[in-house]
Amino acid sequence: MSFDVVIKNGRYFDGTGGPSAIRNLGIRDGHIAAVTEEPIEGAEEIDASGQWVMPGLIDIHTHYDIELLNGPDLSESLRHGVTTVVVGSCSISTVHVGGVDAGDLFGRVEAIPRDHVITAIGQHKNWSSAEEYIHAIEARPLGPNVTAFIGHSDMRTAVMGLERATTKDDQPADAELAQMERWLVEALDAGFIGLSSQQLLFDRLDGDVCRSRTLPSTYVKRKEMRRLTRLVRKWGRVLQSGPDIQHPPKVAAQLARSIGGLRRPLKLSFLAAADAKSNPIGHKFLTGAARLINALGGDFRWQHLPVPFEVYGDGIDLVIFEELGAGAAALHLRDQMERNELMRDESYRRQFRKEYDDKFKIGAWHRDFFDADIVSCPDGALVGKTFGQVGLDRGLHPVDAFLDLVLEHGRQLRWRTVISNHRPKVLKKLAVDPGVQVGFSDAGAHLRNMAFYNSGLCLLRHVHQSAEAGAEFMTVEHAVHRLTGELADWYSLDAGHLRIGDRADIAVIDPAHLDESLSAYAEEAVEQYGGLSRMVNRNDDTVTAVLVGGRTVFRKGVPTDLVGKVRTGSFLRAGRKIAAPTVPSAVPVGG
């Protein structure tokens, strides 16, 4: 019996966490048709001897909403074995807002060039409902599968206008709230996986009219959230949110929403479980809270990045500074001359130093310029030094040393720091914690600041190297399950498994190359963002083949002729079986 594709002699993982074994896989019509020890033949054959054959990885947190329009192949994720991505995170999606509002919502919060957001939405938006959005996405040459949250800030902005939606005393009228409810029901009926909201107060708007206000979702009152949450609970879908970490009682109240009691538990996904340098014991409270809520009848998960959270900054352009009033004040100013004048002002510097020295204030950034290395600068003598060391050399406070260098070199001053997930032992604990979900990368956002497209591979490296060193903390089968089937099952997606009849979304991994190459720095220009050079990962020897819907899209870092030309991925509707595209109809990338 002949198959469309056969993957031979690989160690097969089905995504359930069950035992792996050497098997041959036969693929027909985009689905797994055979899993056997017997030799089989196919029109295309991939020899996976010595390699792992597993379900494609699932990325549960991206901001690819804009890139989907002008670069729908999403090749940066595909090449690292990611075959399903989630968009619409952090309360922002593009289902209802227009171009300018989308630019204000995405531009500064996610560090995506605002003008390109406006242009992309203006050029491509031909939808006005969730169902039409799905059809529009599937009309493009999708690389991986896509699924989505509908964003609360998206709906709130569209129904109230951005000005009213970001004013504390101006809440939606009954008719406006009813419209948001109708839109949410439409999205849930269409197969969206849930509603994303946001309570983090350092995500700021771009643009002119409402610049530096927090996202519309942060202005929600109890009545509005209760009515929307009721619908998410009723449909058995997921509420995603970023908690207001500076107000722990609010976080506790949000967590308690998950508890069912006499009603269905609310699936709740929060950002994020991390071993933060700013709070060395904070991760214990996070995982403990998850255990408590789930023991009381909730269905709660923290999202987690399973690698050190390393970020890069160009001058002062980095989202971590939004936590400080002084940092937000500088980022508020788009005019460089005005910004420079502010950074020279002594009263401004005094405020910055005061906030920097307040080590007890809750936040994500550790506020330590001795833990911030200069990696690129016109003054080569500074490369490799920390801002703290430069301050000592010059007899300055670290904040003054940093600001002086920003004034001198602007965005040509590039630096890096690790803000969390720096302790391997704690990373191991988080990776196996049942209240934690692994798979969050923020792909498509913060293009100059970080690159975690290969974070799933990094977890597999950690597991593989620990086992080889005789210090196993998780089996490879369990790790694959955490990255694939466990996520698919919780979000009700037709993905994450490789049993007979399942979708043939597959990553073939060479464990011999789960090595230090995964930590190498790389950049590549993004055509759809005007040639902006973004941080990426390049591990072409690690991922030897990637298939979506039964068709090969990457071989050892090289895209096949399908990528960017035909649709291989599908919009995965929650709770439904989704057929792989059967006829690879050519679709112009701009069409």
Got the DSSP string for 373-428? EEEE-SSGGGTT-BHHHHHHHHT--HHHHHHHHHHHHGGG-EEEEEEE---HHHHH
- Residue 21 within a domain: no
pLDDT of the residue at 587? 40
**583 pLDDT above the threshold of 60:** no
Note whether residue 314 is domain-resident. Answer: no
pTM to 2 decimals? 0.96
Domain-terminating residue out of 413, 435, 451: 413
What pLDDT is attached to residue 535? 97
Enumerate the β-bridge partners of residue 47.
Answer: 8
- Report CA Rg, the chain: 24
375 & 352 share domain: yes
Looking at residue 443, its pLDDT comes to 97
Q: Is the pLDDT of residue 373 over 70?
A: yes
Residues 159, 279 within the same domain? yes
User: Which of 413, 437, 470 lies at the terminal end of a domain, its last residue?
Assistant: 413
Q: Concatenate the DSSP letters of all residues of 324-373 into one string.
A: SHHHHHHHH--SHHHHHHHHH-HHHHHHHHHHHH-TTS--SS---GGG-E
- Those residues with Cβ within 8 angstroms of residue 487's Cβ, 6 or more apart along the chain or in another chain: 58, 60, 437, 438, 439, 493, 496
pLDDT of residue 543: 98
pLDDT at 366 over 70: yes
- Please report, rounded to a whole number, the percentage of residues in the chain having pLDDT higher than 90: 93
What's 148's domain CATH number? Answer: 3.20.20.140
pLDDT at residue 247 is higher than 90: no
12 in a structural domain: no
For the segment 358-371, the average pLDDT, to the nearest whole number, is 90
Is residue 32, in this structure, part of any structural domain at all?
Answer: no
Question: Tell me, what amino acid is at 395?
Answer: G
Does 405 lie in the same domain as 280?
no
Number of H helices, E strands in the chain: 20, 24
What are 281-332's pLDDT values in tens digits?
A: 999 999 999 999 999 999 999 999 999 999 999 999 999 999 999 999 999 9
Compute the average pLDDT of residues 159-188.
Answer: 97
Q: ∠31-33-38 over CA atoms, to 5°?
A: 140
Mean pLDDT of 568-576: 98
At 43 the pLDDT is 95
Which residue in the block uniquely carries the two structure tokens 């569209």? 158
**Mean pLDDT over residues 492-514, rounded?**
98
Say yes or no: 459 and 524 in one domain. Answer: yes
Asked if residue 178 has pLDDT above 50, the reply is yes
Residues 354 and 207 in one domain: no
Residue 538 has pLDDT above 80, yes or no: yes
Domain assignment present for residue 6? The answer is no
Q: Which residues contact 483 (CB under 8 A, 6 or more apart)?
A: 57, 58, 438, 439, 456, 459, 460
Looking at the domain assignment, is residue 119 inside a domain? yes
Torsion, Cα of 152, 158, 163, 168 (10° steps): -30
Is the domain of 402 the same as that of 487? no
- Are residues 248 and 387 both part of a single domain? no
- The residue ranking higher by pLDDT, 294 or 439, is 294
- CA atoms of 484 and 490, how far apart (whole Å): 10
Mean pLDDT of 184-205: 95
428 and 379 together in one domain: no
One domain for residues 269 and 364: no
Whether pLDDT at 428 is above 50:
yes
pLDDT at 244: 85
In a domain, 297, yes or no: yes
Average pLDDT, the chain: 95
Residues 405 and 432 in one domain: no
The whole domain housing 376 covers 329-413
If asked whether residues 409 and 425 sit together in one domain, one would say no
**Quick check: is 500 in a domain?**
no
Based on the structure, what is the number of domains in the chain? 2
Domain end marker among 380, 396, 413: 413
Find how far residue 551's CA is from the centre of its chain: 25
Claim to verify: residue 64 and residue 152 sit in the same structural domain = yes
Q: Pick the residue with more confidence: 118 or 262? A: 118
